[in-house]
Amino acid sequence: MQIQDLPYPDPGVPDARSGPRFLWWLFRNQLGGQLKSLAWGLLHFLSVSALPFCVGVAIQAVVDHSGRRLALAGGLLALCCAGSALGDTFLHRSAVTNWITAAARVQQLLAHKAANLGSALTRRVAAGEVVAVSTGDVEKIGWFVEAWSRFTAAAVTVVVVCAGLVVYQPALGGVVAVGLPVLALAALPLLPRATRRADVQREKAGRATELASDTVAGLRVLRGIGGEELFLDRYRRASQEVRHAAVRSARMWSLIAAIQVLLPGLLLIAVVWYGVHLARQGRVEIGELVAVYSSVMIMTYPLRHFEEIAMAYSFSRPSATRAARVLSLERATSAEGSRDRAGDGLPAGDLYDPATGLLAPSGRLTAVVCGDPDTAGLLAERLGGHPSEEGTSVLLGGVPLDELPLGSARTAVLVQDKDPVLLSGTLRELLDVPASGDVGAEEALAAAQCADVLAALVQGSVGAEDPMDARITERGRSLSGGQRQRLALARSLFTDPDVLVLDEPTSAVDSHTEARIAQGVRDLRAGRTTVVFTSSPLLLDHADRVVLVHEGEVAAVGVHRELVRKEPRYRAVVTRETDEEAASADVLGDRAVLHELEEIEESA
């Protein structure tokens, strides 16, 4: 795989059982690139390692006054320099290619997993961790892959040089053959402590990142309640903890680096001392002593990659573990298993939730009232195809949604949660979503009462005369909460799914606008199945059918005006009735009905 061929047509199925297994899976999928790096790395490192031998031959030729051997040594030097330059160039190219392609594979896997899980991802993994995995962790995993490309060539080179020195000069070569492995493994006892300190640093950094992202997301609210300084102090303390942890981690890695400098120096001293002793005895020639000494000095270059691979693995292992944890998440399926219904077409019919007994008849507008907003949110997600904790799945036309292919399930049912996200871009790009084509953008915007939103977008965009070309800032922060809510509703209406589930779609708009939205949604979705989770009387009065869900089960079914009059639990949720008022429910029920009817008539 080359960089120009990215993205992968199929990134594969990762081994997400653990971080090391995930790294090994990445290596196996990059075997061709790793072998290419090994070949170029061997050319580079062996060429560099052969330089001392050439220098030794040249010095001995000068001592022996041999012009032919001196010329031969010069030719070998030129050849080694060319091999070193060529190998280093293509080693860097192949290693960086391995880094980028590995990072791209991981990013594709994470993107596919996020698309597969949808809103369930951030419920099962903290948002800050998702951000950390898809940014910094991907880079660290790529770094390990790149470092491994160089390390394998360096390790083979060390073995070859040790064997070559033993053959070339057994006495000195034996010292080097014993000393170099000791140098390579000297830092191993310190690695567990360095790894633990690095883990602490990354954990604190992850918490600080999550705190920062949460603060930015809630900045508007913080300013409203004057809480900026409080959260600033919290983030300042968190960042200082990260700094202290980073300093402690750096101290350990600096100690490892110092050992990697000290021990090669001691080996050089030992080789020189022993070599001079052998030279005095006539057992070693001057050229051989220079060659062995230079080889030891040159070997400090490939030995650096032993330190780098240790550091890269230390940093990438927790990153790979976090990535594997995200990639191991699965979309829940029913106990019966999943069957491929891609060729059966989309099911049609009533939407039914066995867990609560909720039934949304086909082609009608059903409003659902829940006293607990969290229960309403979970039920809305279940209607979108996420099974309950007991494994029961919602049925559409008698077919369990989780038995449908993911694409088919999402085409059949669209869920808009209570906090929809608007991505940055133009309004045209916002509405560039899969749609049936039966509903135009103008119709959807009109039904969602977006006239003032379009005017605000045009006014805030320089040079945009057409509202469709007006730009929306990131998450629509330049718009009010009600304006963002209406744009998200327009996008859902434009998509025109077979079943549309809306969770509190008008909680941030005024009553007059809410009444017009209720009528617009009813008219535009005529003949289509629509489920609205709300406690607003204005929306409830436009519903064909109202369902009260109490303590996880359907408690009452009817129309709004009838339920307000006859069902105390419904009236308590819709009218915010207190316990004292509930004691005189007969009197207050009639008053509540009259009040709601007057409010509906005024808004209409």
Dihedral sign (CA 530, 531, 534, 535): positive
Alpha helices in 466-508 (DSSP H): 481-495
pLDDT at 339: 38
Per-residue pLDDT, averaged over 150-173, amounts to: 86
Last residue of a domain, which of 269, 295, 327?
327
Closest of 2, 21, 5 to residue 320, by C-alpha = 21
Last residue of a domain, which of 297, 327, 357?
327
- Calpha distance 478→459 (Å, rounded): 11
Residue 365 and residue 284 in one domain = no
118 near 415, Cβ under 8 Å?
Answer: no
493 near 444, Cβ under 8 Å?
Answer: yes
pLDDT (tens digit per residue) in 548-579: 998 889 999 999 999 999 999 999 888 865 54
- Calpha distance 105→9 (Å, rounded): 10
- Cα angle 183, 185, 186; round to 5: 65
Residue 258 and residue 373 in one domain = no
pLDDT at 595: 54
488 near 422, Cβ under 8 Å?
Answer: yes
Helix (H, G, I), strand (E, B) or coil at 598: helix
Closest of 233, 248, 168 to residue 201, by C-alpha = 248
Helix (H, G, I), strand (E, B) or coil at 9: coil
351 near 377, Cβ under 8 Å?
Answer: no
Tokens found for residue 182? 């000791």
Residue 534 and residue 596 in one domain = yes
**What proportion of the chain, given as a percentage, has pLDDT over 90?**
24
- Calpha distance 167→155 (Å, rounded): 19
pLDDT at 340 over 90: no
pLDDT at 599: 54
- Calpha distance 178→266 (Å, rounded): 13
Dihedral sign (CA 443, 446, 447, 450): positive
Length of the chain: 604
The mean-pLDDT minimum among 116-120, 195-199, 226-230, 343-347 falls in: 343-347
Question: For residue 492, what are the domain limits?
Answer: 349-603
Looking at the structure of the chain, the number of domains it has is 2
305 near 183, Cβ under 8 Å?
Answer: no
Helix (H, G, I), strand (E, B) or coil at 351: strand
| Residue 176 lies inside a defined structural domain of this protein | yes
pLDDT at 341 over 50: no
User: For 325, what's the count of Cα atoms within 13 Å in the CB-facing half-sphere?
Assistant: 16
| Residue 422 lies inside a defined structural domain of this protein | yes
Last residue of a domain, which of 292, 327, 362?
327
Per-residue pLDDT, averaged over 260-275, amounts to: 83
Per-residue pLDDT, averaged over 385-401, amounts to: 78
Residue 355 and residue 302 in one domain = no
CATH number for the domain spanning 598: value is 3.40.50.300
Pairing of the two strands 545-550 and 413-416: unpaired
Closest of 547, 543, 551, 534 to residue 418, by C-alpha = 534
Within a 10 A sphere around the Cβ of 499, how many other Cβ atoms?
24
Cα 79 from chain centre = 47
Pairing of the two strands 553-558 and 545-550: antiparallel
- Calpha distance 528→497 (Å, rounded): 8
Contacts 24+ apart (CB under 8 A), 450-455: 450/483, 450/486, 450/487, 450/490, 452/483, 453/479, 453/483, 453/486, 453/487, 454/427
pLDDT (tens digit per residue) in 507-533: 888 889 999 999 999 999 999 999 999
CA dihedral (276, 277, 280, 281) in degrees, to 10, reads -140
- Calpha distance 319→325 (Å, rounded): 10
Residue 297 and residue 148 in one domain = yes
**What proportion of the chain, given as a percentage, has pLDDT over 70?**
87
pLDDT at 460 over 80: no
- Cα angle 325, 331, 334; round to 5: 130
Q: What is the SS3 assignment for 96-142? A: HHHHHHHHHHHHHHHHHHHHHHCCHHHHHCCHHHHHHHHHHHHHHHH
Closest of 264, 252, 123 to residue 192, by C-alpha = 252
User: Which residues face 500 on adjacent strands?
Assistant: 414, 530
Residue 354 and residue 287 in one domain = no
pLDDT at 334: 42
User: For 154, what's the count of Cα atoms within 13 Å in the CB-facing half-sphere?
Assistant: 22
Largest Cα span, the chain: 122
CA dihedral (289, 295, 297, 299) in degrees, to 10, reads -160
| Residue 339 lies inside a defined structural domain of this protein | no
| Residue 465 lies inside a defined structural domain of this protein | yes
| Residue 340 lies inside a defined structural domain of this protein | no
Residue 25 and residue 144 in one domain = yes
Residue 68 and residue 111 in one domain = yes
Within a 10 A sphere around the Cβ of 131, how many other Cβ atoms?
16
Helix (H, G, I), strand (E, B) or coil at 67: helix
End-to-end CA distance of the chain: 62
User: Which residues face 499 on adjacent strands?
Assistant: 413, 529
- The letter for the amino acid at 36 is K
Residue 293 and residue 434 in one domain = no
574 near 369, Cβ under 8 Å?
Answer: yes
| Residue 551 lies inside a defined structural domain of this protein | yes
pLDDT band at 295 (very low <50, low <70, confident <90, very high): confident
pLDDT (tens digit per residue) in 117-136: 776 676 677 666 777 788 78
Residue 209 and residue 283 in one domain = yes
Residue 353 and residue 322 in one domain = no
pLDDT at 182: 82
Within a 10 A sphere around the Cβ of 441, how many other Cβ atoms?
18
| Residue 572 lies inside a defined structural domain of this protein | yes
CATH number for the domain spanning 144: value is 1.20.1560.10
297 near 268, Cβ under 8 Å?
Answer: yes
The mean-pLDDT minimum among 223-237, 458-472, 532-546 falls in: 223-237
| Residue 337 lies inside a defined structural domain of this protein | no
Residue 438 and residue 529 in one domain = yes
Tokens found for residue 429? 């790009």
Q: Could you say which DSSP state residue 392 is in? A: -
pLDDT band at 30 (very low <50, low <70, confident <90, very high): confident
> pTM surpassing 0.85?
no
Tokens 């004691």 belong to which residue? 583
